[in-house]
Amino acid sequence: VRVSPSNSIVPNVGGIELADALARVLPFTAKDDEARPVFACVNFVAKDGKLTLVGADGFRLAVISLDCDGEGQALINRDELRGIAQALKVARRARVSFEAGGDTIGGYSLIIDTELIRYKWSSVNGDFPDYEKLIPTESNCFAHFDTVEAIRAVNSLKAISDNPKAYPIDLTIGDGKIVMAEPDNKGQAELSADTDGQGTVRIDGQYLAEALKACGGMVEFKLTNAYSPTLFSADGYQLVVMPMLT
């Protein structure tokens, strides 16, 4: 970090947009994964006029892209990015760039410049999985619904669960609605949705709540079958969540 009150920058990304992107990716990185350290990182990829941020923990994958000039790639540990989102909101204007070097041969350092501060991180040594192959491209079932109502429904099912830290929820989609049910038939909640096709899947309740919160507003949900990855989408943001096997 270098403070320079007269740091003149030519912004290539909005600070608030970058802060929001970080906030939607960081929760889906792994907290402590010594076996797979890349999962404790945010993958920054700049190419073709886009800056893409990717986070994954082995069960979930979050991807969001912003308009941004430049090229490069860097893996930055989640702990090193603490507080950056808030700082970027204050800065408003930012420039993202990559510098050859870092801790790896042929690697890059990530640089984020604001008008006051330059942040620089060395990329972690490792190869991030080919995340694009993990995003479902086909589905047999689709639903478009309000996350506020859905979060309320999840919370009501959490309240009657025997274990509020581990509570599976069965989602049944079809006929213009989504039915969320506690697997032991202790209760269910129903919300209206634009739907196409029919399907049922079981998702970890906490994962579902966190996915809905990250998407916000109206969300699209795509389902192939009960055992394939599910996809939540909202305004260029994609979140893949693995189902629970029933």
Model confidence at 1, pLDDT cuts 50, 70, 90, reads: low
The predicted pLDDT at position 115 comes to 86
Query: What DSSP element (H or E) covers 62?
Result: strand 60-67
In contact, 131 and 63? CB cutoff 8 Å: yes
What is the per-residue pLDDT across 62-116, written as a single tens digit (0 to 9) for each? 999 999 999 999 999 999 998 899 999 988 789 999 998 755 556 789 999 998 8
The predicted pLDDT at position 4 comes to 62
Domains, in order of start, for the chain: 2-134 (3.10.150.10), 141-241 (3.10.150.10)
What is the per-residue pLDDT across 131-164, written as a single tens digit (0 to 9) for each? 999 999 999 999 999 999 999 999 999 999 988 8
Give me the sheet containing 237-241, strands edge to edge: 72-77, 41-47, 50-56, 60-67, 237-241, 230-234, 218-223, 141-146, 194-196
- Whole-model pTM above 0.95? no
In contact, 220 and 234? CB cutoff 8 Å: yes
Tokens 């079958």, located at residue: 225
